[in-house]
Homo-oligomer: A and B are copies of this chain.
Amino acid sequence: MLYPQEFDVIVVGGGHAGTEAALAAARMGCQTLLLTHNIETLGQMSCNPSIGGIGKGHLVKEVDALGGAMALATDEGGIQFRILNSSKGPAVRATRAQADRILYKAAIRRMLENQPNLWLFQQAVDDLMVEGDRVVGAVTQIGVRFRSRTVVLTAGTFLDGKVHVGLNHYAAGRAGDPPAISLSARLKELQLPQARLKTGTPPRIDGRTIDFAQCTEQPGDGMPGGSNEGQVPVFSFMGKAAMHPQQMPCWITHTNERTHEIIRSGFDRSPMFTGKIEGVGPRYCPSVEDKINRFADKDSHQIFLEPEGLTTHEFYPNGISTSLPFDIQLALVRSMKGLENAHILRPGYAIEYDYFDPRALKSSFETRQIQGLFFAGQINGTTGYEEAAAQGLFAGLNAALQCRGQDAWLPRRDEAYLGVMVDDLITKGVTEPYRMFTSRAEFRLQLREDNADMRLTEQGRQMGLVDDARWDAFSRKRDAVSRETERLKATWVNPRILPAAESERVLGKAIEHEYNLFELLRRPNVSYAALMDMDGGKYASSDVSRETLGEATDAVLEQVEIAAKYAGYIDRQKDEVQRAAHYENLRLPSELDYMQVSALSIEARQKLQKHRPETLGQASRISGITPATISLLMVHLKKGG
Contacts and interface: CB of A to CB of B under 8 A. Distances in A.
Contacts of A208: 113
Contacts of A40: 40-41, 44, 176
A166 interface: yes
Copies of this chain: 2
Interface string A295-331: 0000000000000000111100000000001110010
A493 interface: no
Between A44, A122, A208, the greatest number of chain B beta carbons within 10 A of the residue's beta carbon is seen for A122
A392 to B, nearest CB: 21
A345 B109 CA distance: 13
Interface stretch (A140-148, A251-259, A278-286, A418-426): A140-148
A628 interface: no
Nearest to A346: B122
Nearest to A41: B176
A38 B113 contact: no
Interface string A101-143: 0100010011001100001111100000000000000000111
A206 interface: yes
B122 A345 contact: yes
A575 interface: no
Interface stretch (A65-73, A149-157, A167-175): A167-175
Contact of A142 (B106, B121, B141, B326): B326
Nearest to A325: B1
A337 to B, nearest CB: 20
A144 B102 CA distance: 28
B38 A176 contact: yes
A39 interface: yes
A344 B121 contact: yes
A523 B525 CA distance: 93
B176 A109 contact: no
A177 interface: yes
Contact of A106 (B39, B110, B143, B311): B311
Given A106-B311, A325-B1, A347 B123 contact: yes
A37 interface: yes
Point out which of A3, A114, A143 has the most chain B C-beta atoms below 10 A from its C-beta: A143
A330 B121 CA distance: 13
Contacts of A142: 165-166, 168, 170, 326, 347, 349
A178 interface: yes
A343 B119 contact: yes
Contact of A178 (B165, B177, B206, B344): B177
A293 B204 CA distance: 51
Contact of A122 (B4, B41, B176): B176
A442 B343 CA distance: 47
Contacts of A330: 3-4
Nearest to A327: B1
B37 A176 contact: yes
A259 to B, nearest CB: 17
Nearest to A101: B40
A119 to B, nearest CB: 6
A345 B121 CA distance: 5
B346 A113 contact: no
A519 B119 CA distance: 64
A122 B175 contact: yes
A482 to B, nearest CB: 40
A247 B361 CA distance: 50
A610 B371 CA distance: 66
Contacts of A38: 175-177
A310 B621 CA distance: 51
A253 to B, nearest CB: 21
A509 to B, nearest CB: 61
A430 to B, nearest CB: 29
A179 to B, nearest CB: 9
Contact of A141 (B1, B168, B178): B168
A354 to B, nearest CB: 19
A115 B13 CA distance: 36
A143 B325 CA distance: 9
Contacts of A113: 206, 208, 312-314
A142 B172 CA distance: 13
A102 to B, nearest CB: 7
Contacts of A119: 206, 343
A624 to B, nearest CB: 42
A449 to B, nearest CB: 30
A201 to B, nearest CB: 12
A165 to B, nearest CB: 4
B326 A144 contact: yes
Contacts of A143: 166, 168, 325-326
B178 A172 contact: yes
A248 to B, nearest CB: 16
A325 B142 CA distance: 8
A311 B175 contact: no
Interface in A1-40: 1, 3-4, 37-40
A383 B166 CA distance: 38
A177 B39 CA distance: 12
Contacts of A313: 113-114
Nearest to A143: B168
Contacts of A204: 122
Nearest to A44: B40
Given A38-B177, A114-B313, A122-B175, 17 more contacts: A38-B175, A109-B311, A110-B311, A113-B314, A120-B345, A122-B346, A123-B346, A141-B170, A142-B165, A142-B166, A142-B170, A142-B347, A142-B349, A143-B168, A144-B347, A176-B177, A177-B178
8 contacts: A3-B330, A39-B176, A40-B176, A109-B311, A113-B314, A114-B313, A122-B346, A176-B177
| A-B residue pairs, 5 tightest by C-beta | A38-B176, A1-B327, A122-B346, A142-B165, A142-B168
